[in-house]
Amino acid sequence: MSANLKQGARFIVAGGIAFAVDGAVLTTLTELAGVDPYSARIVAIAVAMVVAYFAHRTLTFAVNEPPSVAQFLRFAGVAASVSVLNYAIYAAILMFDPGTSPLLAFVIATGGSMFVSFFSYRHGVFKSPEL
């Protein structure tokens, strides 16, 4: 398996961890706490962003230096931009088909924004000479 393919597989695992946290927070807030799906999505994104930072720096990109505020801020900037895309897709699905489950809209939106996040993290946040 090539290095790029291995890194892609690790990206999917790390992203899967953040995805599970994101979905769990979204479902908990909408189903159990009665929070509207738009507000719940914003909270879920914020929680998942922190989880994703540590998962990607550890699993996907195997960063050896300690975490830094500067690196987290770069990650947060990219993640926020990708989250805007993700949220726009999510909201559009719910607006055009109000009967859609918030969880299904989340899955579709996440799939749509996954590739943008990988290349942005790889080249903008966790870049290294061998990448």
What integer is the mean pLDDT of 26-30?
A: 96
Residue 34 located in a structural domain: yes
Domain membership of residue 42 as a residue range = 3-125
Residue 42 located in a structural domain: yes
Residue 52 located in a structural domain: yes
The tally of domains found in the chain comes to 1
Residue 23 located in a structural domain: yes
What pTM value is reported for the model?
Answer: 0.77
Would the pLDDT of 51 be above 70? yes
Residue 62 located in a structural domain: yes
Length of the chain: 131
DSSP state of 31: I
Residue 131 located in a structural domain: no
5, 32, 41, 80 from 110: Cα distances, Å: 20, 22, 12, 13
27, 52, 55 from 7: Cα distances, Å: 29, 15, 13
CA-CA-CA-CA torsion sign (82, 41, 11, 70): positive
Q: Note the pLDDT of residue 123.
A: 86
Each residue of 70-122: pLDDT tens digit?
Answer: 999 999 999 889 989 999 999 999 999 999 999 899 899 988 888 889 888 98
CA distance 13 to 123: 19
Q: Note the pLDDT of residue 53.
A: 95
- Percentages helix, strand, coil for the chain (3-state, rounded to 5) are 80, 0, 20
Residue 98 located in a structural domain: yes
Residue 130 located in a structural domain: no
pLDDT band at 131 (very low <50, low <70, confident <90, very high): very low
